[in-house]
Amino acid sequence: MRQSVENAVAVCPVEVAVAVLGGSWKLTVVKHLTGGTMRFGELRRAVGPVTPRVLTRQLRDLEADGIVSRTVFAEVPPRVEYALTELGETLRPAVVWLDEWGAAYADREVSQGRP
Amino acid sequence: MRQSVENAVAVCPVEVAVAVLGGSWKLTVVKHLTGGTMRFGELRRAVGPVTPRVLTRQLRDLEADGIVSRTVFAEVPPRVEYALTELGETLRPAVVWLDEWGAAYADREVSQGRP
DNA sequence: CCGAATCCTTCAAGATACTG
DNA sequence: CAGTATCTTGAAGGATTCGG
């Protein structure tokens, strides 16, 4: 268990979820992986403005936390596939819900035009 | 709309949720407020190891994002009450779900004893 | 193609002390 | 009681370059 997660446990279970999913792009990665296995390059293009360095880091974090699996194929050119683990799949409803909530939130902001 | 939120919109709706709720203690604060209005000091004690400076910052962020309301009573001693807004209330199911997920995750880690 | 290595910047979070 | 005022620090994120 990563240190941040371990600290979170002591405070509140919700903080555990934040510790695991809170980094940039992490939920976006999980969301894309709910559609099935993806290669590194696919993920990179799908997520958008993320550098390889950062994406790698997020993926390794998610891997360490048991959310995604990483499969390396010994080929030329190299191929690495990422997929949700069983545990990662349990996040599906939350991802869907938060995705919809975020969209609704953004709409609300636009329609209300708050500064 | 805060800048971070605005950036998030461009990428993915889930990132909006992360931008609004991602800071430390934020979801914990929201969780406690689902139980009803609380004063600053109550919140401080409830959350745990949070300094006033940080708690104030999180509360102001949440207020700016329309999740919590802040009511100042012109009394001596001072009293400030925080409550969920209508928008904040819409987060209730997510908070409950993430709380349970986090608890289950922590249990899993303990039982599996991953380093 | 999938990263690793390097370097850099920024900023959230924490410690501490003080005030209306 | 409910915050500010300063200061410090560590980690996250990003740009760029290089390698298997």
Task: Name the closest nucleotide to B40, judged by C1' and CA.
Answer: D2
- B40 pLDDT above the threshold of 70: yes
**Which of A13, A25, A97 lies at the smallest CB-CB distance from B102?**
A13
Q: Which residues of A touch B11 (CB under 8 A)?
A: 25, 28, 47-49
Residue A106: inside a domain: yes
* pLDDT, position B109: 63
Alpha-carbon gap, residue B89 to B67, rounded angstroms: 8
d(CA A82, CA A95): 17
Residue A8 within any structural domain of the chain: no
Which residues, 6 or more positions from A67, have their beta carbon under 8 angstroms from its beta carbon? A20, A30, A84, A85, A87, A88, A91
> Is the separation of the CB atoms in B22 and B7 below 8 Å?
no
Q: How far is CA A36 from CA A62, B41, B61, B102, in A?
A: 16, 46, 35, 24
Task: Say what the pLDDT of residue B1 is.
Answer: 61
Predicted confidence at residue B87, as pLDDT, reads 97
Summarize pLDDT for B66-101 with one digit per residue, the tens.
999 999 999 989 999 999 999 999 999 999 999 999
Q: Kindly state whether residue B86 falls inside one of the protein's structural domains.
A: yes
- Residue listed under structure tokens 């999740």: B67
Nearest of A27, A21, A17, A29 to residue A56 by alpha carbon: A29
Would residue B104 count as lying in a domain? yes
CA B60 to chain centre: 11
CATH of the domain at A44: 1.10.10.10
pLDDT classification of B32: cutoffs 50, 70, 90: very high
Strands A79-84 and A38-39 come out as: antiparallel
Classify residue B12: in a domain, yes or no. Answer: no
pLDDT band at B65 (very low <50, low <70, confident <90, very high): very high
pLDDT level of residue A115 (50, 70, 90 thresholds): very low
d(Cα A42, Cα A40) in Å, to the nearest integer? 5
φ/ψ of A55, rounded to 5, equals -60, -45
Task: With respect to residue B82, please indicate whether it lies within any of the assigned structural domains.
Answer: yes
Q: Is residue B96 less than 8 Å (CB to CB) from chain A?
A: no
* Closest nt by CA–C1' to A4: D11
Q: Which residue is closest, via its CA, to the C1' of C2?
A: A78
What does the alpha-carbon distance between residue A45 and residue B38 come to, in Å, rounded to a whole number?
44
B47: Cβ under 7 Å from strand D? Answer: no
pLDDT at A109 over 70: no
- Nearest Cα of chain B lies from the Cα of A76 at a distance, in angstroms, of 32
Which domain, by its residues, includes A57? Answer: 24-111
Q: How many CB atoms lie within 10 A of CB B24?
A: 21
Question: Is there a domain that residue B55 lies in?
Answer: yes
- Number of independent structural domains in chain A: 1
Q: Which residue, A69, A2, A1, is CA-closest to A30?
A: A69
pLDDT per residue as tens digits for the range B49-58: 899 999 999 9
**Is residue A102 assigned to a domain?**
yes
Any A CB within 8 A of B20 CB:
yes
